[in-house]
Chains A and B, each alone.
Chain A
Amino acid sequence: MNGWMGKITKIDLGSLEQETVAIDDEMRRRYLGGRGLGVKLYTDLCSAKTDPFAPDNALIFMTGPLTGTVMTSGRYAVVSRSPLTGTICDSSSGGSFGAVLKSAGLDGLVIQGRADHPVYLYIHDGGIEVRDAAGLWGLNTQQTQKAIQEQTPAKTSVACIGPAGENRVAFAAIMNDKDRAAGRGGMGAVMGAKNLKAIAASGSQAVTIADPEGYKAMNARLERIIDKNPVTGKALQVLGTSVLVNIINAHGMFPTENFRRGMFNDAEGTSGEKIAESLLQRQSACYKCPIGCGRTTRTKNKHGEGPEYETVWAFGAQLGVSDLTAITEANYACNELGLDTITMGSTIGCAMELSETGAWKEKLDWGDASKLLAFVEDTAYRRGIGAELALGSKRLAEKYGRPELAMQVKGMEIPAYDPRGVQGMALSYATSNRGGCHMRAYMISPEILGHPVFLDRFSTVGKAEIVALFQDISALVDSTVLCRFLQIAMGISTFTEMLRTVTGLDFSDEELLKIGRRIYTLERVFNNRAGFSRGDDTLPPRFFNEELQTGSSRHRLVRLEEMLDDYYSVRGWDKEGVPLPRTLAELGL
């Protein structure tokens, strides 16, 4: 078999039974792998009533047909039901864990049940060993990876949780290859609920390539496409993702103090340029990645990875904090404790506004960087104020009677692009299947960066169609599984060609997009069954009622209603956002 290793194993951590999951060629062709096949397997195994922390909830680690092959292919996807949102959720991470999992002989791993004591899984030669992890429980993610690597062969890659996952914090991350994170949606908490501390993999099996000559030419082409694009070929390499700080701030849509303003006066001091001048030790890259957007940094006290753009924002402008060292060290702490930085920072921002309004009696001040580390640590261990922050912004704001102060969609915190300044991004946030996320359809690419077409960011015309297209392409890329930065540099045809040279299967562009649409619709069907509908495809009222007062997005509001009906129509869903029978039939669902 070309591309895939041909083996997905299901393990029950309660009974320790293992079985091979039967996947036929047709299913591979319809869902590919990664997010797509993960979602398919999840919806076959679990219902919309499955509690994310129940033993029967499935936690699925998946690679894709391109994992371990072309550039940026070290990634993997984790699929389950999110304890943060209640939606179906996938989270993906870079590094090399995906490629190593495949070299250990597996395309994927389905985990159900709950171990009666902490364990970790060691995967090699296509087999799975369940090993005791009692001695690892309580260790942070760096210590855990180091300890497991001491017990396993060289070049073992480890994906693990930290104390936040053990304590089932609803936005706990899974960390791999030191500081790479499957961050969003609380997949780490699901792992913790299973008493599963880590998954380690090592191996030497190679992925077979259908067309080696074409594959070689494809890699050369990819290299040039990446190099020629100013974002992937220059900006991300030199300045990392934080290159966006000054750009987004200049567009007046850099959310400041819980999205009350769109410009941060101290943006320059937290920018990618400033990181390069003050903290950067070296650029770091994931498996076979020529971009290398990662930043290895050092403060006076510590060293580690980051901060990336979203984190700079979450612990910076979102809180009115301009101390780059404090932001960076809060990032390090999230990595070590296993927390999603976006939800962590945004929840603190929500808490600051709750405090300011008097709804919450705790005293939290805008711009106060001195307590950041304590907030992060307390959240991971659910102690003191951290026990409240561990709820995430939606539950926290509801608890204190001000639900409108949580900047979230479906329970997931919106990241670092104020939707009042980008109408397409607003629609993307609102209709995202996993909540307030920029990665379902990264509309910043056409609306700010001008790829693949430069769109008027304030216009709603044609946005429904292109948001749906971007969502489908994203679902596709997440199923191959490659880095989404490739999407900035290339369109659909290069993915078609990559899949052809690796798998030998002649997909058309149309067929690939249909795969993306099928995955997105299947996720939607699950969410509908879980009770989500049109009323949930919305944004916090601030974006409809409060104009930004300064910057180049001033006087703007989100005009979601101008786009939502069109969006449902493009998708083949009814007015309530439920896929029509003919849509399901067309997609074979």
Chain B
Amino acid sequence: MIDLDKETLAKMIDHTELSAHSGEKKIANLCSEARSFGFYTVCINGAYARFAAEKLQGSGVLVCSVVGFPLGAGTSTAKAFEAREAVGNGAAEIDMVVNVGALRDKRLDLVRDDIAGVVEASRPALVKVILETCFLTDEEIVRGCELSVEAGAKFVKTSTGFGAFGAFPDHVRLMRRTVGPDIGVKASGGIRNFKDAWRLIRAGASRLGVSSSVAILEGLSLYKFAPAAWLEEEIPCHFCPSRFASLDKQPKAVYAYYKKKCLTCPHLEKFNKFYE
């Protein structure tokens, strides 16, 4: 049984448009939808923060701007500047990308300071830290979560949507377990329908970053007319990062790490085999 109404779900959604080729018309449509459906924020590139803030004035929908997006590999100064400018243009939330390379190199002070700098520059806006989980092992995800909390971030977030893969329940579960109940967990990337969303909410996500937000709300509406289809038992491998590991898109050590995880997976016997 799914105990969730449309309004509650809408309030968990950052309605997102981050394509490089999106112009004002698309952002205006995004804002119009966010108003109509009551999404929590619109999540956009910084160049459109002021434009979106104007479009959303009086609506109660906030503007969320991305920083250091999508690679997270710029300098801390540049990220802080970008965040300050976005907040000055009307952003109430900042989604920053962590310095993924530094996190993998275990340069923990650099990572913490990088985040702290953005948190400071963003005040009073709230900061979410995008870990880009597709490039990290579980241990690195835990470390990224801990550093984010230490640096004053209020949310940790899975993905940019531009990496090797998006949000998976396993990662969300791990992040929630690490940050506890008082810090938000945002799942983003590859969330295309209501069932995808529901799976991540059950794993502990308190916010969703999606561009198919309207379709997701409509999926919830449809669920009540045919619940059995939505509640059908699922094969866990279909939603496992190990299944989606890609030698082309991930560092080879991370790819090997995910493939190796299958060997100790509790679902190994029942599910991890070739499916017709």
Q: Quick check: B218 and A493 within 8 Å, CB to CB?
A: yes
**Cβ contacts B251-276/A at 8 Å (1 or 0 each):** 00000000000000000000000001
Question: Is B230 within 8 A of A453, CB to CB?
Answer: yes
Minimum C-beta distance from B244 to chain A (A): 14
Partner of A228, one of B215, B217, B227: B215
Q: Given A220-B29, A220-B32, A491-B222, verify A451-B193 contact (CB < 8 Å).
A: yes
When A220-B29, A225-B214 are in contact, do A492 and B221 touch as well, CB less than 8 Å? yes
Closest chain A residue to B218, Cβ basis? A491
- A462 near B276 (CB under 8 angstroms)? no
Closest to A214 in B: B36
Whether B215 pairs with A491 at a CB distance below 8 angstroms is yes
**Complex: how many Å from CA A232 to CA B68?**
31
Asked whether, in the complex, the Cβ of B228 is within 8 Å of the Cβ of A461, the reply is yes
Q: Could you tell me the dominant secondary structure of chain B's interface residues?
A: helix
- Determine whether the beta carbon of B214 is less than 8 Å from that of A554: no
CB distance from B191 to the nearest CB of A (A): 12
CB of A351 within 8 A of chain B?
no
Chain A residue nearest in CB terms to B212: A228
Contact A453 B33 (CB under 8 A): no
Find chain A residues with CB under 8 A from B28 CB. Answer: 220
The chain A residue sitting closest to B233, CB to CB, is: A461
We find that the number of chain A residues with CB closer than 8 angstroms to chain B is 38
A509 at the interface (CB under 8 A from B): yes
Given A221-B32, A221-B36, does the pair A452, B232 have CB atoms closer than 8 Å? no
Instruction: Give the chain A neighbours of B234 by CB distance below 8 A.
Output: 456
Q: Are B193 and A492 in contact (CB under 8 A)?
A: no
Q: Closest Cβ of chain A: how far from B28's Cβ, in Å?
A: 8
CB distance from B184 to the nearest CB of A (A): 25
Interface size range on B against A: 20 to 34
> Nearest Cβ distance between residue B27 and chain A, in whole angstroms?
11
Please name all residues of chain B whose beta carbon is closer than 8 Å to the beta carbon of A491 when the two chains form the complex.
Answer: 215, 218-219, 221-222
Q: Which residues from 41 to 64 on chain A have a C-beta closer than 8 Å to any C-beta of chain B? A: none
Identify the closest chain B residue to A462 (Cβ): B228
Which residue on chain B has the smallest CB distance to residue A452? Answer: B219
Partner of B276 from the list A223, A492, A553 (CB cut-off 8 Å) is A553
From A459, A462, A553, A556, residue with most partner B Cβ within 10 Å? A462
Distance of A211 Cα from B192 Cα, bound (Å) = 31
Interface of chain B residues 87 through 110 with chain A (CB within 8 A): none
Q: A217-B32, A492-B221, A493-B217 are in contact. Are A455 and B229 (CB under 8 A)?
A: yes
User: Shortest CB–CB separation between residue A587 and chain B, in angstroms?
Assistant: 15
Contact A509:B231 (CB < 8 A) given known A454-B195, A490-B215, A491-B215? no
In angstroms, Cα B29 to Cα A493, docked, is 18
Q: Is B41 close to A, CB under 8 A?
A: no
Closest to A513 in B: B225
Which residues of A from 269 to 283 have beta carbons under 8 Å from B? Answer: none
Given contacts A228-B211, A462-B228, contact A453 B36 (CB under 8 A): no
- CB contacts under 8 Å to A, within B178-233, are 192-195, 211-212, 214-215, 217-219, 221-223, 225-233
Known contacts A453-B193, A513-B225; A229 and B230 CB within 8 A of each other: no
Measured between beta carbons, the chain B residues less than 8 angstroms from A494 are: 214, 218
* A286: interface (CB < 8 Å): no
Closest to A494 in B: B218
The answer to the question of B47 belonging to the interface, with a C-beta cut-off of 8 Å to chain A, is no
Q: Determine the distance from Cα of A453 to Cα of B226 in the docked complex, in whole angstroms.
A: 11
User: What residues of chain B lie closer than 8 Å to A217, measured between beta carbons?
Assistant: 32, 36
Bound-state CA distance A459–B218 (Å) is 24
A469 within 8 A of B: yes
Please report the C-alpha to C-alpha distance between residue A468 and residue B227 in the assembled complex, in whole angstroms.
12
| B193, A469: Cβ atoms closer than 8 Å | no
Give the docked Cα–Cα distance between A466 and B194 (Å): 15
B30 at the interface (CB under 8 A from A): yes
In the bound complex, do residue A469 and residue B225 qualify as a contact, i.e. CB atoms below 8 Å apart?
Answer: yes
Name the A residues within 8 Å of B33 (CB-CB). Answer: 221, 224
A46 to nearest B CB, angstroms? Answer: 32
Task: Quote the shortest CB–CB distance from B264 to chain A (angstroms).
Answer: 26
Which residue of chain B lies nearest to A472 when distances are taken between CB atoms in the complex? B225
Q: Quick one: closest B residue to A453, CB to CB?
A: B195
Q: Mark A457-472, 1 if CB is under 8 A from B, else 0.
A: 0110111011011000
Are A490 and B214 in contact, CB atoms less than 8 angstroms apart? yes
Closest to A495 in B: B218
For residue A450, CB closer than 8 A to chain B, the reply is yes
What A residues does B229 contact at CB under 8 A? 446, 453, 455, 462-463, 465-466
Bitwise interface map of A from 531 to 553 toward B, beta carbon under 8 Å scored 1, else 0: 00000000000000000000011
Smallest Cβ distance from A553 to chain B, in angstroms?
7
A500 to B231, CA, bound (A): 31
With A and B bound together, what is the CA distance between A228 and B161 in angstroms? 14
Closest beta carbon of chain B to A493's beta carbon, Å: 5
State how many angstroms separate the Cβ of B200 from the closest Cβ of chain A: 14
Q: Assess whether B78 is interfacial by the CB under 8 Å rule.
A: no
Bound: A462/B230 CA distance, A: 8
Nearest CB of chain B from residue A399's CB, rounded to whole Å: 38
Whether A452 lies near B29 (C-beta < 8 A) is no
A117 within 8 A of B: no
- Determine how close the nearest CB of chain A comes to the CB of B199; give it in whole angstroms: 10
Which of these, A223, A225, A453, A552, contacts B194 with CB under 8 Å?
A453
> How many angstroms from the CA of A509 to the CA of B225 in the assembled complex?
10
Contact of A221 among B29, B212, B219, B225 (CB under 8 A): B29
Q: 10 nearest interchain CB pairs? A: A491-B218, A462-B228, A466-B229, A462-B229, A465-B226, A466-B226, A469-B226, A452-B219, A453-B195, A224-B29
B residues apposed to A, CB below 8 Å: 26, 28-30, 32-33, 36, 192-195, 211-212, 214-215, 217-219, 221-223, 225-235, 276
A-B contact pairs, 30 of them (CB 8 A): A221-B33, A221-B36, A223-B29, A224-B29, A224-B30, A224-B33, A450-B192, A450-B193, A451-B192, A452-B193, A453-B222, A453-B223, A453-B230, A454-B195, A455-B229, A456-B234, A461-B228, A462-B228, A462-B229, A463-B229, A465-B226, A465-B227, A465-B229, A469-B225, A491-B215, A493-B217, A552-B276, A553-B276, A555-B276, A556-B276
